[in-house]
């Protein structure tokens, strides 16, 4: 696949530490590893420097995202060192977007002030729900008053770009409780809202509770009704749905507060994935780092002096794969269709993949149009409102068999 000419990179940095494990979570996150913080930050800095030394040129970077886990658990001095290493290693754009994912129960005004002064400019708060029963079921360490306080402190500390992460379709959650969550979130006036339906991940305690009848199963029809209600309520509140599960307000200058970092994924533009278990898309390769924080640290304590393979190989990689043109095209269509406004531009597919998409996908397009799952836009297609509810069906039509 041809990447877009001269597109700057994004950098994702995984912080795999949490205060406790939430019962629904299957992310690469661990409780009780506080003793590893310093060694882990040293390993991250080693990885950043390795990439800087071995990349064919100084990489231009326009977004940095610290995700987890609970990145807000690391002390600000860790971020001071990490941001210094990033500025040293890469050409950071003047308007670089630097996001911190934060658990509302781990913040205070002083910490938010320090992080803002270090250069962070986007805060993504894991609010999830309002009702204490929902938060308890999710095993969250915070309360809704913690969220109110965190947003107020963030504003006082000068954070102008705040996202609230929400979850709907929880076991036993009635529509009215989800509506209350969204309405309270709107009262906090965030620039951005992400709302995801809870999925029961295999092997999690919550999946076991449901299987044993201790918790009611997820009601998929109700979750779909919640999603439809959410699209209407957020449109009425002035938010633009720019991705299946993401909405943003416009600034007074008319700029959309979309997550520039996540847009990089959805547009299939390149990103480095640094830290334990992180995934990257670098120089035409999908990369995956070793998952365990202990193993990640160990690999960076004794890196080889000469890389056995060229860039983007690093000592913490466990997987490096160049997708075939068909795989890359399927992935591109799937990611791009998530963008509910932009959709897919045929001109870009032609340029990136050298194919005639309307001919290559003729059957799928006729079928999906017939079912009302996609709609035409000038020079391309996007999901229809119905297609957003059945997006996985649409994606499958473009994936290789
Ligand atoms: S805080 Fe987030 S990453 Fe950590 S266990 Fe809970 S859901 Fe998973």
Helix, strand, or coil (residue 173): coil
- Please tell me the residue having the least CA distance from ligand 1 atom 6: 22
Could you give the count of Cα atoms lying within 13 Å of 164 in the half-sphere of its Cβ? 26
Indicate if the pLDDT at residue 6 is higher than 60.
Answer: yes
Mean pLDDT value of segment 274-297 = 98
- Enter the tokens of residue 238: 């002035």
Query: For 219, phi and psi rounded to 5 degrees?
Result: -95, 100
* Token pair 């990089």: residue: 264
pLDDT (0 to 100) of residue 401: 76
- Enter the tokens of residue 16: 């795999």
Q: What does the radius of gyration of the chain's CA atoms come to, in whole angstroms?
A: 21
Q: Is 27 near ligand 1, meaning CB less than 6 Å away?
A: yes
Model pLDDT for residues 343-355, shown as the tens digit of each residue = 999 999 999 999 9
Instruction: Report the separation in Å between the CA atom of 198 and the middle of ligand 1, taken as the mean of its atom positions.
Output: 13
Indicate if the pLDDT at residue 36 is higher than 90.
Answer: yes
Q: Is 218 near ligand 1, meaning CB less than 6 Å away?
A: no
Structural domains present in the chain: 9-265 (3.20.20.70), 325-396 (1.10.10.920)
Model pLDDT for residues 324-342, shown as the tens digit of each residue = 999 999 999 999 999 999 9
Indicate if the pLDDT at residue 294 is higher than 70.
Answer: yes
Question: Rounded distance, CA 352 to CA 309, Å?
Answer: 26
216 touches 171 (CB < 8 A): yes
Instruction: Report the separation in Å between the CA atom of 144 and the middle of ligand 1, taken as the mean of its atom positions.
Output: 17
Q: Is the pTM of this model over 0.95?
A: yes
188 touches 110 (CB < 8 A): no
pLDDT (0 to 100) of residue 351: 96
- The β-bridge relationship of strands 246-248 and 240-243 is antiparallel
CA angle 277, 282, 284 (to 5 degrees): 125
Mean pLDDT value of segment 293-298 = 98
Question: Rounded distance, CA 357 to CA 365, Å?
Answer: 10
């Amino acid at each position: 696949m041809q990447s877009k000419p001269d597109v700057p990179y994004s950098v994702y940095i995984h912080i795999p530490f949490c205060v406790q494990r939430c019962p629904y979570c299957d992310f690469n996150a661990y409780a009780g590893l506080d003793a590893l913080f310093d060694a882990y930050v040293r390993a991250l800095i080693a990885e950043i420097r390795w990439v800087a030394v071995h990349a064919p040129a100084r990489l231009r970077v326009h977004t940095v995202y610290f995700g987890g886990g609970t990145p807000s658990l690391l002390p600000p001095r860790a971020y001071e060192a990490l941001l210094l290493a990033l500025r040293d290693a890469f050409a950071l754009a003047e308007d670089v977007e630097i996001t911190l994912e934060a658990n509302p129960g781990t913040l205070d005004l002083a910490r938010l002030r320090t992080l803002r002064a270090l250069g962070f400019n986007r805060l993504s708060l894991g609010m999830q729900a309002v009702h204490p029963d929902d938060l308890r079921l999710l095993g969250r360490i915070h309360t809704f008053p913690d969220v109110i306080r965190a947003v107020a402190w963030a504003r006082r500390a000068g954070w102008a770009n705040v996202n609230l992460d929400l979850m709907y379709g929880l076991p036993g959650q009635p529509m009215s409780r989800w509506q209350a969550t969204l309405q309270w979130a709107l009262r906090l006036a965030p620039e951005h809202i992400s709302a995801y339906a809870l999925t029961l991940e295999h092997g999690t305690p919550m999946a076991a509770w449901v299987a044993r009848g201790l918790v009611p199963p997820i009601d998929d029809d109700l979750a779909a009704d919640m999603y439809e209600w959410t699209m209407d309520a957020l449109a009425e509140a002035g938010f633009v749905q720019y991705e299946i599960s993401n909405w943003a307000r416009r600034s007074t200058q008319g700029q959309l507060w979309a997550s520039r970092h996540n847009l990089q994924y959805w547009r299939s533009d390149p990103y480095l994935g640094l830290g334990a278990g992180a995934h990257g898309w670098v120089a035409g390769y999908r990369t995956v780092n070793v998952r365990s924080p202990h193993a990640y640290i160990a690999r960076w304590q004794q890196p080889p002096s000469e890389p056995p393979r060229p860039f983007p190989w690093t000592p913490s990689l466990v997987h490096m794969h160049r997708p075939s043109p068909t795989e890359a095209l399927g992935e591109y269509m799937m990611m791009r269709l998530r963008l509910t406004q932009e959709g897919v531009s045929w001109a870009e597919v032609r340029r990136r993949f050298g194919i005639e998409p309307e001919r290559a996908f003729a059957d799928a397009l006729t079928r999906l149009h017939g079912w009302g799952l996609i709609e035409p836009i000038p020079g391309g297609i996007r999901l229809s409102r119905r297609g957003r509810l059945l997006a996985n069906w649409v994606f499958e039509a473009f994936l290789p068999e």
